[in-house]
Amino acid sequence: MGMITKVHRWGRPALFLVLLLGNLGTTGCDDPNDPKTWAKKLDSLRTRKEALDNLARMEPEKARVALPQLRALFEETKDPNHLRAIARLQDSSTEDLFVAQLAYDSDDFENALVAAGFLGDMKAKSATAALAKAVDKTLPIKSRANQVRLAAIKALAHIGDPAATPSLTKVLTTSADEQDFLLNKTAALALAEIKDPAAIPALLQGLFMTGRGSNVFQECRLALVRIGAPSVAPLVALLTGKNEDVNKMAKALKFDEYSPGVVPWKAAWVLGDLRAEQSVSALLAILERPKAGPEHAEALLSLGKIGTPKAVDALLDVLRDGKRDWQLRAAASSGLFMAGATRAVPALFEVAKSGYVTIDGEKASNLRASAAVDFARLAGKDQYDAFKELFEKETEAQGVFGEALDRMQVARECDADLACYGKALSDPSPARAEKAAIAIGLSGDASKGIPLLLAALKPVKTLQQDHFVAHHAMLLALARLAQAPCKECTTKLEEQIEADRSAVRLPGAVQQLGESQVTLALIENRK
């Protein structure tokens, strides 16, 4: 009994020590923070989900140790969730695996969808051909597998390889009767990212494409501006009726009947966006042709954006011509403002004072009101007293003249002080804030003016709609001042654009987003 008692007395601690050492050894082998612990548990159905969850919690660099086991698992299961687990590791050695998944059909497309997203994120240029093939696939309009085509288009945009241009232009120019029109929009945006001049013919057609109550004008406009100088000559040909593809489209779709003047109108618009000095003569020639729609007014606005001496002279001639349609004279007035043509201030004052017109047999002040606003946008402190006297005598357009006087008061208060104008950018009055932006743009002082403008730019969703006019004036001023590469402008505008994408349902927000994108493209194109 004594011997048994002795063994019993020492047996419990000895057994406890053995168990403790055994547990420590097991814990060392199955460290939950070690990816190898979970990699070896992927084979078992019982432990697979836990293993995948734990690998997903790790940083990709650390979890890549498990890549061979994850790849083997996917090859066995073809489960999209297992492919996502591999995609999360962002390992370029797996690109071949993802390219192989781009073969899909209407019933089996989940892995292709994951693959397209991964290859785009990795900017895998080697996948361009396979992604383009995925884009080219013909599917029923309502097939859910069209998600793959959209994802592949977005991936090609990220990759930026011009080899994708043929597939993207084909999608862009395909009728909405044959595919979801979202594909057209996404393809146009992808072409804007790639900036391949070979896409210009398709983009010119895209300016006029519509589908299901929507269009791709803004997307194609942006792409043409981002491509830059190579777009100008084809746009001039479009403006002057020399684009055969668009002419055929216009005839087939009866543009002359349903939207007269639409072709030169949109061509003039984009030439103005590009500030294309070589298009001035062609724009002037449009004014000599019979007016079909809004193309004359757009040509005048574009001449203002371009702002060469020849363009300003033409705008002044139209403004002063009492035989012209008053609306065209008003467009010329706006063009002079866009040109920053301070030499037009006396002419604008005279029209604001005595430019009465006849509308439906009645004497009207519509043109006077337009000229008063544009005068106040351009005039300085020295013209304040004369305009105040004019305002005090005004009886027919007091509200508009009052807002014009608000602008003039900013000029009176700030004169040539940019810091003063910078403070006025945040004024509650849209008219005063707009005047401040214009004055900063006209100062020509990029080193002081650009920081003031960038500091004042706010996301569109934070603005009241009546402040959009001031926001637009800031963008015009930025485009005027940033005549050389401007990294801080690019950064701010990219942030602005990203924020404004979420506000596109607000009235007028899409237009403001478009202006921000075009301004960024203009600045990026400057060398």
The gap from C-alpha 349 to its chain's centroid, in whole angstroms, comes to 37
Q: Where are the alpha helices (DSSP H) in 124-174?
A: 128-136, 146-159, 165-172
Predicted local confidence at residue 298, as pLDDT: 98
Please, which residues have CB within 8 angstroms of residue 276's CB and are 6 or more apart in sequence?
Answer: 232, 235, 236, 306
Dist. CA 287–CA 332, nearest whole Å: 11
Q: What does pLDDT average to in each consecutive run of 10 residues of the chain (527 residues)?
A: 44 47 50 94 95 96 96 97 98 98 97 98 98 97 97 99 99 96 98 99 98 93 98 99 98 96 98 98 97 97 98 98 96 98 98 95 96 98 98 96 98 98 98 99 98 96 93 98 94 95 85 95 92
pTM here is: 0.91
For CA atoms 19, 20, 23, 28, give the dihedral sign.
negative
Dist. CA 219–CA 273, nearest whole Å: 13
264 touches 235 (CB < 8 A) = no
Predicted local confidence at residue 198, as pLDDT: 99
Question: 357 has which bridge partners?
Answer: 364
| HSE-CB for 125 with a 13 A CA cutoff | 5
> What is the SS3 string spanning 496-523?
HHHHHHHHCCCCCHHHHHHHHHHHHHHH
Residue 344 tokens, joined: 């037009």
State the DSSP code for 274.
T
In the numeric block, the tokens 């300003």 are attached to 312
71 touches 94 (CB < 8 A) = yes
Task: Give the number of other CB atoms < 10 A from CB of residue 467.
Answer: 18
End-to-end CA distance of the chain: 100
Which amino acid is it at 59?
E
508 touches 468 (CB < 8 A) = yes
In the numeric block, the tokens 């190898």 are attached to 36
Phi-psi region of 335 (alpha: psi -120 to 50; beta: other; left: phi over 0): alpha
Predicted local confidence at residue 262, as pLDDT: 98
Q: Which residues of 256-280 are buried (b: 16+ CB within 10 A; e: fewer)?
A: eeebebbbbbbbbbbbbbbbbeebb
* Domain spans of the chain, in order of start: 430-527
Dist. CA 148–CA 110, nearest whole Å: 8
Annotate 79-91 with DSSP letters as a single string: -HHHHHHHHTT--
Residue 214's closest CA among 203, 206, 222?
206
| HSE-CB for 513 with a 13 A CA cutoff | 17
| HSE-CB for 58 with a 13 A CA cutoff | 26
State the DSSP code for 128.
H
Predicted local confidence at residue 12, as pLDDT: 52
Containing 362, the helix (H) or strand (E) segment is: strand 362-364
208 touches 249 (CB < 8 A) = yes
Predicted local confidence at residue 368, as pLDDT: 98
421 touches 410 (CB < 8 A) = yes
Dist. CA 168–CA 156, nearest whole Å: 9
119 touches 127 (CB < 8 A) = yes
CA geometry: angle at 85 spanning 80 and 91, to 5°? 120
Please, which residues have CB within 8 angstroms of residue 392's CB and are 6 or more apart in sequence?
Answer: none
Strand pairing report for 362-364 and 357-359: antiparallel
Predicted local confidence at residue 163, as pLDDT: 99
